[in-house]
Amino acid sequence: MRNHYTLDDFIKNVHKLGYTFVEYNGIRVPVLYIDDAFFEQILNFSYNKRLSIDTNLNIYDDGYHVFVDITLKFLNTNKEETILLYANESIEFFYSLATAGIFGLSSKDNQSSNIFFIQLPKKDKAEKAYDIIKDKLKRSKNNTYLE
């Protein structure tokens, strides 16, 4: 987990590669774009191996802005990645995450049909996180989310 001390720290560290959605078994699944090198690294250390990934959502707000750090810790490796999203503009990502209980990672530089899916072990944690984010956005003075 990173330490952000000011609003400027959060803004500078927001994930800039974006995300998309794919339809998977009739469910809308969010997919985060990551850089090509990281995507290749994931494919290389997971090829023909069982891989466990600890996924944590850390929610930060100041009553105006809501940010969510998504931390991915690839167990049995030394790889950990943290992706910061600005929830005021990405609530649909968290809704789809809570609904699907799964999300994907895909290369932004080399967009192909390859998506690395990560299933959340406890979908209810994503549902709870979505409810917290939604509640914070409802009370936010900078509310870009309307129910």
Q: Residues 102-113: pLDDT tens digits?
A: 999 999 876 666
In-domain check, residue 117: yes
Give residue for tokens 């250390």.
45
For residue 14, the cross-strand partners are 84
What pLDDT band is residue 24 in, cutting at 50, 70 and 90? confident
Residue 4 has pLDDT above 50, yes or no: yes
In a domain, residue 143? The reply is: no
Q: How confident is the model at residue 34 (pLDDT cuts 50, 70, 90)?
A: very high
Domain count, the chain: 1
The percent helix, strand, coil of the chain (3-state, each to 5) is 35, 35, 35
Q: Which residues contact 73 (CB under 8 A, 6 or more apart)?
A: 53, 54, 55, 56, 79, 80
Provide the pLDDT for residue 147: 43
What is the average pLDDT across 9-36? 94
146 falls within a domain: no
In a domain, 43, yes or no: yes
* 122 vs 74: CA distance, rounded Å: 17
* pLDDT at position 144: 53
Sign of CA dihedral 43, 44, 50, 53: negative
Structural domain boundaries, residue 106: 7-137
> What is the token pair recorded at 143?
């509310």
Q: For residue range 82-104, what is the model confidence (pLDDT) as tens digits?
A: 999 999 999 999 999 999 999 99
- Reference 39, options 116, 97, 113, 93; nearest CA is 116
